[in-house]
Structure 1
Amino acid sequence: MNKVITILIAIVFSNFPGKADVKLADVFSDNMVLQRNLHVNVWGSAEPGEKVMLSFNGQKLRAKADKTGEWQVVLEPMKAGGPFIMIIKGKNELVLKNILIGDVWVCSGQSNMQWPVSKSINAEEEIKAANYPSIRLFDVPRSVSNVPVDSIPNAKWKECSPEMIKNFSAVGYYFGRDLQKEIDLPIGLIHTSWGGTCAETWTSRAFITKLPKYEEFGERIDNYDVNTVAQKYEDDLKKALGGFPEKEVGMAEQWMKPDTDRSEWLSMTLPTLWENAGYNRLNGRVWFSFDCSLTELELDSIAQLHLGQIHDSDIIWVNGVKVGGMNWANEVERVYPVPVQLLKTGQNNITVRVEDKYYKGGFASKADKMFFQLGEKKIPLSGDWQFKVDTVIPDFNPFPNDAPSLLYNAMIHPLIPYGIKGVIWYQGESNTPRAKEYALTFPNMINNWRADWQQGDFPFLFVQLANYQQAQKMAKDDAWAELRESQTKTLGVKNTGMAVAIDIGEAHDIHPKNKQDVGHRLMLSALNVAYAKDVVYSGPLFKSMQIDGDKAIISFDHVGSGLLVKSKHGYVNEFEMAGEDKQFHWAQAQIEGNKVIVWSDNVDQPVAVRFAWSRNPSKFNLYNKEGLPASPFRTDDWEGVTDGKSFDD
């Protein structure tokens, strides 16, 4: 009997890896791509003092785990090829299969890098055609940490296939696909991004605290405890709401009906995002109700309900009858026609069901955007509304922008020092409130990654923010324009390249669906910056301005085979001009050779010129003949709307 028990115990324990087992870092797995022409680091863990042997592609390397149980070997540079097998031996043996040698690119940033192939244009066709077995994909799970970590749980390299590409970064995939067509080598794509995040959270503690206004942030980072923060978010919201509803009942109980008992509903002054009203980290469904008094005279008019922007989805009822709704359209102004027969003299009820599953929810516009339009009369709807929470989505995970370094620690540090060719980056939207400072924080982040990777000044290619939101009627300062300027200034950092996307955005969606052109333009930049190919890889960039009387003569770099205006009339749009009074006026412009001549009837003595200086220069039409758009610019250095703004402002 004792012998049987002993055998059973041995069987049970044989199914659990012992402490002495040799392990590889999580970034290594079957199907990976190792960087060609580079000394490649391979590392892992084992029992302290344990001897490890690694065999790969004709190389045999030995290492010994140090006192902390860590070991590392360095493979000599190798030419592209494969597939190969890697064998690691200690007290146990690991075998990794189907390994290729080629070029590895890190794909990082916020939601426009995270945006999947399945949500880009022509998704069905693109997914169906995504059979590229020599393109390999690695997705880093989203995680935060206030200290550097080494693990990447639940992540493996995978071959590119229609099934695997659906939820992978669209920009990353289109970049890698187009690049492989040009260089005909295996491509590895490491995707590590998180929507809504700022550059500071992707920067290490050591580097962020070097910057002005960030010197004291070290203590803030050190004291940030993920579990404590998450519990506090949950406790605070429960206290503010008096508990969480157990299940959704609003639709079933028909809370949209005017005679609904709202005596126990809470009150909120609209418009506001509910996080700003004290309900932080509330994700779910919230109902709002407002009673509006109308006279008989007003009922003869055509009626429209204006509620401004709502984050993110809504359903609207007037006197219990549905009049409209939108799904995930947080940048669209809600304007709904209301049949006059629904209205009555006296009190009329407006009920709005808002659904938000991520970040901040509620009513995002200013008070003048909320009104009932009856003919020429506007009845204000801003003020105190009743509200009731119908559903709480229990997601209280810390948000990466709570403190700098949280994503660097959890989603970049574990990748280092895996051999890479370079980085592509699509981010900046979340830094627009402090756009001027981005000219410091972004290059600082690039230098941070390069210093920690210890692979020299590897190529770092980024996307300039796309056009977005409604076009402006009057020339004025703009935070998005200032952010694009900071991105352009970052081209002064060695081995960087920028893909301009000012012509492929969407006014009502911060996530343009055309990710193919973004990926392709990044690829063109890579051909020059990373592969030293003589190609036209950039659209026109501002070079200099010369004043000639009442005209400004603008010269450009990167004109390619010549400037091109996409207009049957031949005029270049989106130019502004100012004199010494610093008041900008829309200007006329036309191409002469490889220069643009700019003038305005309102400016006799020009001092400064701006081009495409707005969130959405919707009439943009200046390119080079290779089809690449000119980058927005200004010739002045006058104070902007984000000067002096920093992390906590």
Structure 2
Amino acid sequence: MKFLMKRSLLAMVLFVAVLQAQAIVKMPALFADHGILQRQTNVAIWGWADAKAKVTVIPSWNGTTYETKADHDGKWKLTVETPEAGGPYEIRISDGAELILKNILIGEVWLCSGQSNMEMPMKGFPGQPVVGSNIDILKSDNHNIRVITVPRNSQTTPQDNFTAKWKVADPAAIRNFSATGYYFGRMLNEMLGIPVGLIEVAYGGSCVQAWMSPKTAVSFVDKQVPAPGDSIPVANRTPSVLFNGMLNPVIGYGIAGCIWYQGETNYIEPDRYLDLFPTMVAEWRKLWGIGDFPFYYAQIAPFDYSVFTPTEFHEKFNSAYLREAQLKAQDKIPNSGMAVLMDVGEETSIHPMHKQEGGERLALWALAKTYGIRDFSYKSPAYDAIEVKGSQAIVSFKDASNGLTTFGNELTGFEIAGENKVFYPADAFLRAKSVVVSSPRVEKPVAVRYAFKNFIVGTLCGTDGLPVSSFRSDNW
């Protein structure tokens, strides 16, 4: 009898344990130990529980109880008010059995997206280094920087989760994290003095169409957007598949803004990119529902794209046209800015080894435009106009308040053309805020181009060190 009672008691204990295990809410990878939430806003928190179960969320920073009810599929979502930056905190989540998220910080959260130049980790790719990264990895211990990487995933249907963990910055975490993203986040953390969270959502070789929803991508693609269950011809270049597999699980998470490094794969369609890219940004902003959040992006660096050029050459296979599209996109995308990388390109590698420059130039935009820090430069000087005087074309620039320089290097890369539209290499010399361009082969100049090549080393900069983008005064 005693034996039977013990067995019954044990069975009841096991039964209750099973019920409790089933009752514990399930959270997406974004809501986990060591995570970070956007400060001073109402952030969305979501997960899964038993159907129709009541779910409570209690953050330790204010002790407030937030309640909601799971739907018939067990999905639930609510918003929580966050304080000024700080932590660590805990978040208690329960639908009967409690789950505690520990070591949560409040700070600035940024999405880091694009293709391989965003994906390129601090340790570099095999045989392709990141300059200075070994020492920076060594020094990366920082409790106030948190990183998470969404793994590569191509899908024909929207996914709601992924497998990854938030990591506190240290050499093990940072050596495998986006170099561009890390250098961006490190500078924000240093200058703002608050925690920074970085979410990497990048896939090497991806085209911009892959990052659009099926509904939006269908307006732009020559080939069909795959239906649910269809095969995926190319994992990183099939329209909508990265939106479904990688971006969708992140949409709605509280962010301050996004940094973007992509365009290399779209280099042969610059005219379409000028429509594609702003449309993608507008869609992301609409889906996040937090207004025109900051969107800062890197202009692709010069590289000898002839290795990729189709047999039948076309003038617009020159990637300078894609850089031009990115330059023009600043006027089509509200609250945006572009980091120019004309000085760090490599002729034989599409992955510039100088990643710190790109990450930090993106951070300059954020520090100035998003965080309101003043009295430093963040914009590259930009072409404004040309004035023809005799056989000379005088090129003026905006955003060059302290003038232009080559830092002692030869000023190269200028071309000039007359009415016959034939460009010739030009002599160029600097004035304080302009460049005088001429050629003995062009008596009456009509147009000027600068660094308008697949690969070239840009030498023209503002005195702050920010390089001038390639440009042309014509529209031929």
Same fold (TM over 0.5): yes
1:219-249 alpha-carbon deviations (Å, 9 max, x no partner): x3215535xx5xxx8xxxxxxxxxxxxxxxx
Q: Give the counterpart letter for 2:386 in structure 1.
A: M
Quote the residue 1:35 is aligned against: 38
Question: Using the alignment, how far apart are the partners of 1:406 and 1:520 within structure 2?
Answer: 30
- In terms of mean alpha carbon deviation, does 521-530 or 165-174 score higher? 521-530
Residues 10-409 of structure 1 mapped to structure 2, 5 A cutoff: 11=14, 14=17, 19-56=22-59, 57-58=61-62, 59-119=64-124, 120-152=130-162, 154-211=163-220, 217=224, 220-222=225-227, 225-226=230-231, 399-401=235-237, 403-409=238-244
Q: Give the counterpart letter for 2:188 in structure 1.
A: L
Question: Using the alignment, how far apart are the partners of 2:462 and 2:23 within structure 1?
Answer: 61
Quote the residue 1:562 is aligned against: 403
1:463 to 277, 295, 298: 298
- Distance change in 2, residues 1:224/1:596 (3 Å): farther
1:428-458 alpha-carbon deviations (Å, 9 max, x no partner): 1111121221111111111111010011111
1:137-167 alpha-carbon deviations (Å, 9 max, x no partner): 1111111111211011x21111001111111
Q: Give the counterpart letter for 2:304 in structure 1.
A: Q
CA contact under 8 A between 2:414 and 2:427: conserved in structure 1? yes
Structure with a larger share of its residues in strand:
1
The answer to whether residue 377 in structure 2 is matched with residue 512 in structure 1 is: no
- Distance change in 2, residues 1:458/1:470 (3 Å): closer
CA contact under 8 A between 1:478 and 1:613: conserved in structure 2? no
Question: Using the alignment, how far apart are the partners of 1:546 and 1:453 within structure 2?
Answer: 45
Q: Give the counterpart letter for 1:53 in structure 2.
A: T
Offset of 1:598 from its aligned partner? 1.2
Offset of 1:6 from its aligned partner? 8.7
- In terms of mean alpha carbon deviation, does 190-199 or 525-534 score higher? 525-534
Question: Using the alignment, how far apart are the partners of 1:576 and 1:16 within structure 2?
Answer: 75
Q: Give the counterpart letter for 1:117 in structure 2.
A: M
Q: CA RMSD in A?
A: 2.3
The answer to whether residue 366 in structure 2 is matched with residue 531 in structure 1 is: no
Q: Give the counterpart letter for 2:280 in structure 1.
A: M
Question: Using the alignment, how far apart are the partners of 1:35 and 1:10 within structure 2?
Answer: 41
Q: Give the counterpart letter for 1:528 in structure 2.
A: A
2:257 to 422, 427, 450: 422
Question: Using the alignment, how far apart are the partners of 2:211 and 2:13 within structure 1?
Answer: 46
CA contact under 8 A between 2:391 and 2:442: conserved in structure 1? yes
Query: Structure 2: where are the runs of 5+ without partners?
Result: 125-129, 307-314
Question: Using the alignment, how far apart are the partners of 1:128 and 1:16 within structure 2?
Answer: 46
The SS at the match of 2:386 is strand
Q: Give the counterpart letter for 1:174 in structure 2.
A: Y
The SS at the match of 1:22 is coil
Offset of 1:617 from its aligned partner? 1.3
CA contact under 8 A between 2:299 and 2:340: conserved in structure 1? yes
Offset of 1:15 from its aligned partner? 6.3
CA contact under 8 A between 1:192 and 1:412: conserved in structure 2? yes
Question: Which is higher, the Rg of structure 1 or of structure 2?
Answer: 1
- Distance change in 2, residues 1:621/1:36 (3 Å): same
- Distance change in 2, residues 1:12/1:466 (3 Å): farther
The SS at the match of 1:425 is strand
The SS at the match of 1:117 is coil
CA contact under 8 A between 1:478 and 1:614: conserved in structure 2? no
1:27-56 alpha-carbon deviations (Å, 9 max, x no partner): 111111100122111111112211111111
Quote the residue 2:275 is aligned against: 440
- Distance change in 2, residues 1:12/1:581 (3 Å): farther
Question: Using the alignment, how far apart are the partners of 2:444 and 2:353 within structure 1?
Answer: 43
The answer to whether residue 382 in structure 2 is matched with residue 541 in structure 1 is: yes
The SS at the match of 1:155 is coil
Residues 471-482 of structure 1 mapped to structure 2, 5 A cutoff: 478-482=317-321
Q: Give the counterpart letter for 1:447 in structure 2.
A: A
Residues 548-587 of structure 1 mapped to structure 2, 5 A cutoff: 548-567=389-408, 572-587=411-426
Quote the residue 1:496 is aligned against: 336
- Distance change in 2, residues 1:77/1:5 (3 Å): closer
Question: Using the alignment, how far apart are the partners of 1:167 and 1:94 within structure 2?
Answer: 29
The normalised TM-score by structure 1 is 0.67
Percent identity over paired residues: 38
Question: Using the alignment, how far apart are the partners of 1:460 and 1:470 within structure 2?
Answer: 27
Question: Using the alignment, how far apart are the partners of 2:412 and 2:34 within structure 1?
Answer: 49
- Distance change in 2, residues 1:25/1:477 (3 Å): closer
CA contact under 8 A between 2:206 and 2:265: conserved in structure 1? yes
Question: Using the alignment, how far apart are the partners of 1:151 and 1:53 within structure 2?
Answer: 21
The normalised TM-score by structure 2 is 0.91
Query: Structure 1: where are the runs of 5+ without partners?
Result: 234-397, 639-649
Alignment: residue pair count: 457
